[in-house]
Amino acid sequence: MDPFLQAAIDQAKKSLDEGGIPIGSVLVRDNKIIARGHNKRVQEANPILHGEMDCLNNAGRIGSYKNTVIYSTLMPCYMCAGTIVQFNIPKVIVGESRTFPGAREFMESHGVEVIDVDDPTCIQMMEQFIHDKPELWNEDIGEL
């Protein structure tokens, strides 16, 4: 297991333990985690606190993002993908996109390298969550 993806999974589990949506993210520079985050939409009643957004917020002002990699347990949505493109993050490593296809083509069309590792842990975690809390999931992806 990639240790950075594992760190993102740990963040996703933290969100689930808090009653939130199990999506986690880490930002890596020079082979070190510089920020962690997880989906906090439910916990903080904030519609834009997706895992990637929380992670980038936790990174603070780091200057250039051009030499970073962002890991996410789930393919980023258009909001998060737009932020990745805006910040010129060159690479996204994703746990899975089976449960949510996200905005892969959008990121790739803007020069972002997207690697989907199709991780069984990420898939199982999201499938279980979607099964257990479909109303919360549909709210998160705007399909209520």
Residues forming the active site: 52
Q: How far apart are CA 25 and CA 138, in angstroms?
A: 20
Q: What residue ranges in 15-138 does DSSP mark as E strands?
A: 24-29, 32-38, 68-72, 91-94, 113-116
Residues linked to residue 27 through DSSP beta bridges, in sequence order: 35, 70
User: Do residues 5 and 93 lie in contact, with contact meaning Cβ atoms separated by under 8 Å?
Assistant: yes
